[in-house]
């Protein structure tokens, strides 16, 4: 009986994440013009880097709840040089901690994201209140160039 209870306790302990409450937050990042580091050769090439920063709002035009810093690095060009794949990293900074996100994103090179564009990425870590965070985010480009980010996550207990 003692062995069975030990195994049950071990199983529950290893699977606590399965019992964690799923949380969700929605934010609207202000549009920012990225800074571009164009490595040689000129034009789209592997290693080109795009960075931007801006405010995160709780609703469209609503109060600022944090800020974001993002970096995208071009990692693949298709044969026609019109579609690119970028490695994408984001830090969302709030008064009580930060959330870190990663993704690979395919886009039309040199064009702004179009209405209806969407992608899903991973939430891979955090600091402060968000220490031990895991989950995913969904990015949606709405009408008028407004972006919506929905974070779905669990916090380590």
Q: What is the CATH number of the domain that holds 82?
A: 2.40.480.10
Return d(Cα 131, Cα 8) in angstroms, integer: 27
Residue 104 lies in a domain: yes
Domain region containing 65: 21-154
pLDDT of residue 46: 84
Residue 14 lies in a domain: no
* Number of domains within the chain: 1
Q: φ and ψ at 2, to 5 degrees?
A: -65, -40
Residue 71 lies in a domain: yes
Residue 105 lies in a domain: yes
pTM: 0.79
Residue 11 lies in a domain: no
Interval 73-79 mean pLDDT: 83
Sign of CA dihedral 70, 76, 77, 82: negative
Residue 6 lies in a domain: no
Q: φ and ψ at 39, to 5 degrees?
A: -85, 165
For residue 84, give both structure tokens.
Answer: 């690119």
Strand partners, 123: 101, 135
pLDDT in tens, 117-141: 888 999 999 999 999 999 999 999 8
């Amino acid at each position: 009986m003692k062995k069975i209870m030990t195994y049950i306790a071990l199983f529950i302990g290893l699977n606590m994440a399965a019992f964690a409450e799923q949380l969700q937050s929605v934010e609207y990042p202000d549009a920012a013009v990225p800074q571009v580091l164009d490595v040689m050769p000129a034009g789209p090439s592997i290693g080109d880097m795009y960075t931007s920063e801006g405010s995160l709002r709780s609703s469209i035009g609503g109060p600022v709840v944090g800020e974001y810093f993002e970096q995208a690095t071009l990692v693949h060009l298709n044969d026609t040089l019109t579609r690119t794949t970028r490695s994408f990293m984001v830090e969302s900074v709030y008064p009580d901690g930060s959330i870190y996100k990663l993704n690979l994103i395919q886009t039309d090179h040199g064009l702004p994201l179009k209405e209806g564009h969407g992608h899903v990425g991973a939430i891979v870590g955090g600091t402060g209140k968000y220490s031990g965070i895991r989950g995913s985010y969904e990015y949606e480009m709405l009408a008028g160039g407004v972006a919506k980010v929905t974070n779905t996550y669990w916090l380590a207990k």
